[in-house]
Amino acid sequence: MGENLTKSIVCPNCGECVPIVLHTGIQGDISAEEKEKILQETFFSWKCPACGCISQLLYPCLYSDRRYGYMLYFLPPGASFPQWEEASEQEKVRKRIVSSPEEFREKILIFENGLDDRAVELVKYAMVQVLSRQSGVEIRSGVYLESDPEKDRMDFLFLPEGSEKALRRTTKFTMYEKVREVARQFAPAETGFLRMDQKAAAQIMERYARG
Ligand SMILES: [Zn+2]
């Protein structure tokens, strides 16, 4: 935890070989600076000290926060999940694999808002169906933004295929509360690190439809 790893990388712009510090273990309750960068989606931005060019460098790292009881493993696309011994006493800890800076940020927000990410994905899944039917275009991605149970709202941002303009959409918080039971009954068991994304939400809905 709170681990750093120093490596040398070759700048894709100028070809200079420079050392870089990778934060491979982050504790959300301690590493405020790193956490803020993840929330700003600048955590993986790297500035070359030789030429000043900024590029994105995705690398595996483990993020945990004991206050909220969750762990996120950031696994870049194409990388494989490492083999490690999992301590069984950590069963109460929710463990997720995330693969994009947007998803990394989204999961932190969801867990810090005290929400069940499985149910949030189900709400998002339903909204994507409605939105693509209404607009006639595929929805490329969607992310949770915020919620307010008192005002009965939950906000998401959706990105339609072939567009750079994100659409903000609001639904009722009570919808989330309704699908939470579906998530509890039909989501896969919490064993080890899971991906809980739109693909997983589709699988939960299939299981639910079969009964
Ligand atoms: Zn450079």
pLDDT above 90: residue 81: no
Cβ 14 vs Cβ 50: under 8 Å: yes
Confirm if 106 and 154 have CB atoms less than 8 A apart. no
- Residue 24 CA to ligand 1 center (angstroms) comes to 23
- List phi, psi (to 5°) of 122: -70, -40
- pLDDT above 60 for 89: no
Q: Ligand 1 center to residue 14 CA distance, Å?
A: 4
Helix (H, G, I), strand (E, B) or coil at 19: strand
- How many angstroms separate the alpha carbon of residue 52 from the centre of ligand 1? 6
How far is ligand 1, taken at its centre, from the CA of residue 22, in Å? 17
pLDDT tens-place string over residues 29-45:
999 999 999 999 999 99
CA gap 65, 51 in Å, rounded: 36
Q: How far apart, in Å, are the Cα atoms of 35 and each of 8, 66, 158, 201?
A: 24, 14, 24, 27
Q: Which two tokens stand for residue 198?
A: 């739109």
What is the whole-number distance in angstroms between the Cα of residue 143 and the centre of ligand 1? 33
CA of 46 relative to ligand 1 center, distance in Å: 10
10 CA distance to ligand 1 middle (Å): 8
Cα 138 to averaged position of ligand 1 atoms, centre (Å): 38
Predicted local distance difference test score (pLDDT) of residue 22: 94
Rounded CA gap, 150 and 153, in Å? 8
Question: CB-based contacts of 154: which residues, under 8 Å, 6+ apart?
Answer: 120, 123, 144, 146, 147, 148, 170, 171, 172, 173, 175, 176
Instruction: Decide if pLDDT at 88 tops 60.
Output: no
For 59, residues 6+ apart whose C-beta sits below 8 A from its C-beta are 22, 24, 44, 74, 76
Provide the pLDDT for residue 1. Answer: 45
What is the predicted pLDDT for the residue at 2? 62
Average pLDDT over residues 182-208: 94
